[in-house]
C-alpha cells in the first residue's frame, strides 16, 4: 500500500500469472500498448496450479491489498489439468477467507489466454479499481511489514 501525489490510496496488487497463457497475455497487452495500472506486480509461475494457498497469504502479509491469479482457460492447460485443480483449491480458499471476514473482493481468479492481451489489461484495470474502493488491507496484514 502507498499513497500517490494527491494523497490517494494506491493499492498494491499481486498477480500470479501462468507462464504459458496469462504471462504471454500480459506481454501481448504490453506490445499492443494497452494500459494497465502500475499497481499490478506480476509474479510468473509455471502453471496456475503452482500457486498454493500460502503464496496468496504471504502476498497479503507482505503488503498486497489484492491478489489475483491468472491461468489458462479450463481445457487449455499446458499440463492438461493443472488449472482444474487450481479452480477447486482457490474456490475453497477464497470461501475460507470470506468465512474469516476478509473482504471477498481482494481475491480473484481470472482465465486469460496468450491471445487475450485486451482482456488482461481490462481485468487488471477493473480489479485495481475494485481494490482501491476497498481501501488498504487491514484484516490480513502483518503490521511488522507495514511501510512507515
Partner 1 sequence: MQEAIINKAKQLLADGTVDRVIGWKRGEFAYDITPAVFGSAEEIDADFVYDDFTSANVSKYLVKETKKEGKVLVFLKPCDTYSLNQLTKEHRVDREKVYVVGIPGGPKLDIEKIKAKGISGILSVKNENYTLKIETIYGEETMPFSEAILDKCASCKSKKHVVYDELIGEDGEVLESNRFDMVEQLENMTAEERYNFWREQLSKCIRCNACRNVCPACTCEKCVFDNPESGVENKAASDSFEENMFHIIRAFHVAGRCTDCGECSRVCPQNIPLHLLNRKFIKDINSLYGEYQAGEDTTSRAPLTDYTFDDCEASIVHERGVE
Partner 2 sequence: MLRISLDKIDELFEAVNSQQALYIPTDRKDGAAEYKKYESGMKMSDKLNTVRSAKDFFFPQTENLVEFKMEGKKIEVKDIREESEDFVIFGVRACDARSFTILDKVYLVEPVDSFYKNRRDHGTVVTMACTRPSETCFCQTFGIDPTAPEGDAACWSDGSFLYFKANTDKGQKFIDSISSLLEDGDTAELDKAIEKTKTIMSKLPLANLSTENFGGDKLNEYFNSDKWGELSESCLGCGTCTFVCPTCQCYDIKDFNTGDGIKRFRCWDSCMYSDFTKMAHGNPRLTQLERFRQRFMHKLVYFPKNNEGEFGCVGCGRCLSKCPISMNIVKVMKALEVK
Q: Site for partner 2 (CB under 8 A): which residue of 3, 92, 96, 145?
A: 145
- CA 45 from centre of chain: 12
* Only segment of 2-10, 14-22, 41-49, 140-148 that touches partner 2 (CB under 8 A): 140-148
Selection from partner 1, partner 2, none that 58 binds (CB < 5 to 8 A by kind) is partner 1
Tell me phi and psi for residue 31, to 5 degrees.
-65, -25
- 34 or 125, CB closer to partner 1? 125
Q: Which one-letter DSSP state was computed for residue 73?
A: P
Query: What does DSSP say about strands 2-3 and 9-10: parallel, antiparallel, or unpaired?
Result: antiparallel
Rg of the chain's alpha carbons, rounded to an integer?
A: 15
Among positions 25, 63, 66, 117, the unique one binding partner 2 when judged by CB under 8 A: 63
| 147 contributes a contact to partner 2 by CB under 8 A | yes
Q: Which option in partner 2, partner 1, none does residue 5 bind, with CB closer than 5 to 8 A by kind?
A: none
Cα 11–Cα 42–Cα 100 angle in degrees, nearest 5: 55
Beta bridge partners of 44: 17
Q: Residue 33 or 54: which CB sits closer to partner 2?
A: 54
Question: Residues in the site for partner 2, rule: CB under 8 A?
Answer: 62-63, 144-145, 147
Amino acid at each position: 500500500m502507498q499513497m500517490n501525489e494527491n494523497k490517494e490510496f494506491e493499492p498494491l496488487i499481486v498477480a500470479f500469472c501462468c507462464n504459458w497463457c496469462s504471462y504471454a497475455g500480459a506481454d501481448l497487452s504490453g506490445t499492443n500498448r494497452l494500459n494497465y495500472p502500475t499497481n499490478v506486480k506480476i509474479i510468473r509461475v509455471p502453471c496456475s496450479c503452482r500457486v498454493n494457498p500460502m503464496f496468496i497469504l504471504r502476498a497479503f502479509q507482505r503488503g498486497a491489498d489484492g491478489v489475483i491469479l491468472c491461468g489458462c482457460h479450463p481445457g487449455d492447460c499446458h499440463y492438461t489439468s493443472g488449472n482444474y485443480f487450481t479452480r477447486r483449491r482457490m474456490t475453497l480458499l477464497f470461501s475460507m477467507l470470506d468465512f474469516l471476514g476478509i473482504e471477498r473482493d481482494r481475491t480473484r481468479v481470472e482465465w486469460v489466454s496468450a491471445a487475450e492481451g485486451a482482456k488482461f489489461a481490462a481485468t487488471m484495470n477493473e480489479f485495481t479499481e475494485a481494490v482501491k474502493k476497498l481501501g488498504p488491507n487491514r484484516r490480513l496484514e502483518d503490521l511488522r511489514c507495514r511501510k512507515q
